[in-house]
């Protein structure tokens, strides 16, 4: 019986045969034989292949501790948190920007995204064969798989630069061409081109968010594809394409209450374009450890990813986003939960005075797997992306009103910025306070060239002189040493890592 296998690490099929228990995670929708394909040859069967892709985002290795460390604790918006003695395996070295090629968070993020890509590739290979499923449904599901594959490749290219483009599942024994595909890093430009192709094809086939039923609002939509395409253009400084794709994101609004967007009542609201649904259907569960690892240390969590003093100081007086983003000790949360003060000895400093409010879930039916969603794309960011692109093209007077829409929702007045340079700085600052803890800040600092100065200014108890961002190295995270080892010279490490 011929079977197609999907593995957590794309290369495991031929390089980790001696430790399959560590690298293989074969679930029902990840092992399909040609004899059994008829079991899936219906509408519900077809859906399972794409459901398994969405379910990957609920996993610990995809959306939780490693990703939080890699994309948030590294930024100037966050400190390690927890206690000085609790390193969180590697969160201390991530905070210090002193990680190496064996960093566990860099490895788990790399592997998890390739696991998800494998699930996308399996869906794209199997769905065309399910001729008893509705053809329109299959077309939509394939478009969802392409969007999700693009989403994961965007994560990879932001983190690591050029990576292998694995665009199909491989049969065993592995051919020389497929081995080269899996082990050879492509250029950053090639990865971006692949992402753009997936998103363009996805946008053509996906429905608008308004066309989904109420129980499917978290699925990828046409607006999500165009918004992500605009963001991909933003990272490449293709300013006119940013504007063009932002203009195609229609049917969304700016939610009037910033704080409510990050509560259960605000999930998949009118501003939400794409978010990870904290309750999956295979099985029914929340995101593993997402809320718990960032929760109040002595009450319901571990206390990692602590909002920094630098972030606190970035908010203007009267900005409602500060108290909607940061939990302060001694305050009462929106659901009546009291965040207790702790008793300190003389001259003792509280190691955990602040927490990430956007990760808070008031429905702690299970403290480990909570139903808090993660917002990744929303209309507020679309307006900021369009404003940035307009300003870069010299259309500053058209950019300012978009910036002011975001400021007004935050309870602030019009920006005082007028010149192109001043508006550029204002947009960058607005992105920081608007999108704090939404996994953008580190990458924004890198793409805009602000990183070295921003980290030098990020002073704290642990880093009284700021942090050192090494230009030419810290723009990218290391490719996992395990991958470099098995690539047998086909791929090289990012500069500065060993």
Q: Which pLDDT belongs to residue 346?
A: 78
| pLDDT score recorded for residue 466 | 95
How far apart are the C-alpha atoms of 140 and 134, rounded to whole Å? 10
Q: What does the pLDDT read at residue 285?
A: 67
pLDDT, tens only, 322-380: 999 999 999 999 999 999 888 877 777 777 899 999 999 876 544 577 778 999 999 99
Tokens of 187: 């250029």
Residue 17 CB partners (closer than 8 Å, separation 6+)? none
What per-residue confidence (pLDDT) applies to 112? 97
Query: 10 Å Cβ neighbour count for 95?
Result: 27
The span from the CA of 434 to the CA of 92, in Å, is 26
Q: Over the Cα atoms of the chain, what is R_g? A: 22
Question: So what's the pLDDT on residue 21?
Answer: 27
Q: How many CB atoms lie within 10 A of CB 408?
A: 12
| 49, 122 contact by CB (below 8 A) | yes
Buried b (16+ CB within 10 A) or exposed e, 109-148: bbbbbbbbbbbbbbbbebbeebeebeeeebebbbbbbbbb
User: Alpha-carbon dihedral of residues 372, 291, 325, 310, nearest 10 degrees?
Assistant: -150
Express each pLDDT in 53-69 by its tens digit.
999 999 999 999 999 99
The predicted pLDDT at position 33 comes to: 55
Q: How many CB atoms lie within 10 A of CB 177?
A: 9
- Chain-centroid distance, C-alpha 54: 13
pLDDT at 28: 29
For 221, which DSSP code?
Answer: -
Report the C-alpha gap between 425 and 344 in whole angstroms. Answer: 40
CA angle 393, 396, 402 (to 5 degrees): 110
234 Cβ contact partners less than 8 Å away, ≥ 6 residues apart? 242, 385, 388, 389, 447
Cα atoms in the 13 Å half-sphere on the side-chain side of 199: 23
Q: Of all helices (H) and strands (E), which one includes residue 304?
A: strand 304-307
- pTM for the model: 0.93
The count of residues in the chain is 498
Give the containing element (helix H, strand E) for 33.
Answer: strand 31-33
| Low-confidence stretches of the chain (pLDDT beneath 50) | 1-31, 282, 365-366
**Does an H or E element contain 3, and which?**
strand 3-5
Q: What is the DSSP letter of 264?
A: G
């Amino acid at each position: 019986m011929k079977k197609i296998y999907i593995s957590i690490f794309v290369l495991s099929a031929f390089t980790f045969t001696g430790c399959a228990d560590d690298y293989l995670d074969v679930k029902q929708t990840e092992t399909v034989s040609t004899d059994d394909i008829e079991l899936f040859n219906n509408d519900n069967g077809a859906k399972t292949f794409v459901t398994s892709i969405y379910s990957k985002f609920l996993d610990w290795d995809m959306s939780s501790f490693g990703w939080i460390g890699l994309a948030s604790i590294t930024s100037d918006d966050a400190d390690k948190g927890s206690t000085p003695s609790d390193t969180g395996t590697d969160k201390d070295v991530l905070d210090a920007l002193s990680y190496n090629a064996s960093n566990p968070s860099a490895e788990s993020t790399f592997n998890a995204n390739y696991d998800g890509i494998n699930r996308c590739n399996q869906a794209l290979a199997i769905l065309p064969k399910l001729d008893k499923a509705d053809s329109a449904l299959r077309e939509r599901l394939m478009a969802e798989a392409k969007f999700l594959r693009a989403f994961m490749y965007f994560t990879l290219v932001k983190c690591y630069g050029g990576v292998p483009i694995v665009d199909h599942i491989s049969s065993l024994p592995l051919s020389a061409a497929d081995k080269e595909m899996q082990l050879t890093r492509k250029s950053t430009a090639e990865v971006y081109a692949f992402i753009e192709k997936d998103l363009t094809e996805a946008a053509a086939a996906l429905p608008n968010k308004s066309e989904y039923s109420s129980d499917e609002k978290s699925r990828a939509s046409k607006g999500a594809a165009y918004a992500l395409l605009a963001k991909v253009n933003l990272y490449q400084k293709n300013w006119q394409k940013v504007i063009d794709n932002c203009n195609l994101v229609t049917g969304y609004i700016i939610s009037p209450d910033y704080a409510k967007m990050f509560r259960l009542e605000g999930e998949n609201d009118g501003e939400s374009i794409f978010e990870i649904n904290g309750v999956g259907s295979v099985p029914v569960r929340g995101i593993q450890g997402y809320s718990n690892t960032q929760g109040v240390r002595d009450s319901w969590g571990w206390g990692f990813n602590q909002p920094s003093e630098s972030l606190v100081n970035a908010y203007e007086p009267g900005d409602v986003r500060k108290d909607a983003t940061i939990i302060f000790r001694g305050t009462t949360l929106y659901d009546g939960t009291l965040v207790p003060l702790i008793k300190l000895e003389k001259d003792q400093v509280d190691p955990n005075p602040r927490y990430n409010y956007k990760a808070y879930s008031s429905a702690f039916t299970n403290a480990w797997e909570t139903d808090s969603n993660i917002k990744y794309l929303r209309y507020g960011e679309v307006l900021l992306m369009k404003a940035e692109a307009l300003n870069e093209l010299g259309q500053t007077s058209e950019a300012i009103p978009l910036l002011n829409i975001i400021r007004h929702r935050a309870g602030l007045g019009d920006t005082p910025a007028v010149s192109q340079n001043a508006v550029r700085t204002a947009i960058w600052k607005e992105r920081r306070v608007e999108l704090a803890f939404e996994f953008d800040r580190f990458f924004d600092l890198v793409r805009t060239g602000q990183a070295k100065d921003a980290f030098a200014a990020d002073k704290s108890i642990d880093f009284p002189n700021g942090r050192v961002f090494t230009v030419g190295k810290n723009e990218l995270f290391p490719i996992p040493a395990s991958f470099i080892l098995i690539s047998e010279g086909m791929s090289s490490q990012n500069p500065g890592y060993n």
